[in-house]
Amino acid sequence: EDQVTQSPEALRLQEGESSSLNCSYTVSGLRGLFWYRQDPGKGPEFLFTLYSAGEEKEKERLKATLTKKESFLHITAPKPEDSATYLCAVPPGTGRRALTFGSGTRLQVQP
Amino acid sequence: SQTIHQWPATLVQPVGSPLSLECTVEGTSNPNLYWYRQAAGRGLQLLFYSVGIGQISSEVPQNLSASRPQDRQFILSSKKLLLSDSGFYLCAWSGSSFSNQPQHFGDGTRLSIL
């Protein structure tokens, strides 16, 4: 059974203070990994797909990286509008249909 | 570009009343469609998925049902709501291949049962 674990559970940063969020996974064959952002009361917003170890994707202040066992979401010089819950998920395995999500990291960026 | 719409955004219903939540997708054809429930402090639980009109698969036994009357329309229903049906319901779509494609979510419906 696929398992996805995110850490830390919550993170408070000052504006401009860079940091990284971790997503470790156990899957039967790497099929890729997704990062989402979820604002309170909203659905998850898709950010990135990473398909192979060593791959990197960037969007504004966010950069996602992937190894064979984990993924990192690096946040460079964050702003208050980056405050949200960040979720990672792995695609469904053979015969399954649901994404397997981690429990998320609640990020708060203070001005 | 593709967009997904869910309504209503919030709903308060008495126990035993019926339910109908609607989801539509624009800008794509023959999408896979999904209904998830997200409980506070817990992950997303897949309730139903659909690969085409009239084709519905249920992931968990429950008091809810789903229908897909049109290619890009997905409806979540109940004949009699239970207190345990309270939660945040999310509709999602993906391309017509299950593997390795992200699912894109709507903004959800917050359902409260009184």
Pairing of strands A10-14, A105-110: parallel
The nearest alpha carbon in chain B to A93 belongs to B99
- What are the chain B neighbours of A103 within 8 Å (beta carbons)? 42-43
> Which pLDDT belongs to residue B97?
66
- pLDDT, mean over chain A: 94
What is the chain A residue with the closest CA to B39? A103
Mutation to test the A interface, candidates B33, B94, B105, most A Cβ within 10 Å: B105
Cβ contact B103–A99 (<8 Å): yes
Q: Which tokens is A27 given?
A: 């899957």
In whole angstroms, what is the distance from residue B110 CA to residue B99 CA?
Answer: 29
Inter-CA distances, A73 with A8, A52, A92, B11, B36, Å:
12, 15, 21, 35, 25
Contact B110 A34 (CB under 8 A): no
Return d(Cα B94, Cα B33) in angstroms, integer: 7
Interface residues on B facing A, Cβ-Cβ cutoff 8 A: 6, 32, 34, 36, 42-46, 49, 57, 59, 90, 92, 98-108, 110
Q: Is A45 on the interface with B (CB under 8 A)?
A: yes
**pLDDT given at position B99:** 66
Q: What is the pLDDT along chain B (114 residues), one digit of tens a residue?
A: 889 999 999 999 999 999 999 999 999 999 999 999 998 767 899 999 999 999 999 988 788 999 999 999 999 999 999 999 999 999 999 987 656 789 999 999 999 999
List the single residue in A with minimal CA-CA distance to B94. Answer: A97
Helix (H) or strand (E) holding B10: strand B10-13
- Nearest residue on chain B to A97, alpha-carbon basis: B98
pLDDT beyond 90 at A97: no
pLDDT the model gives residue B98: 57
Do residues A105 and A8 touch, judged by C-beta distance below 8 A?
Answer: yes
> What's the CA gap between A61 and B59, in Å, rounded?
37
pLDDT for A35 beyond 90: yes
Q: Which amino acid is at A78?
A: P
Quickly count: other Cβ atoms within 10 Å of residue B25's Cβ.
21
- Alpha carbon of A25: minimum distance to chain B alpha carbons (Å): 15
Which residues of B fall within a CB distance of 8 Å from A36? 105
Neighbouring-strand partners of residue B90: B36
Please report the pLDDT score of residue A1 as a whole number.
Answer: 83
- What 8-state DSSP symbol labels residue A16? T
The pLDDT tens digits of the residues spanning A67-94 come to 989 999 999 999 999 999 999 999 888 7
Question: Which is nearest to B43 in space by CA: A3, A74, A82?
Answer: A3
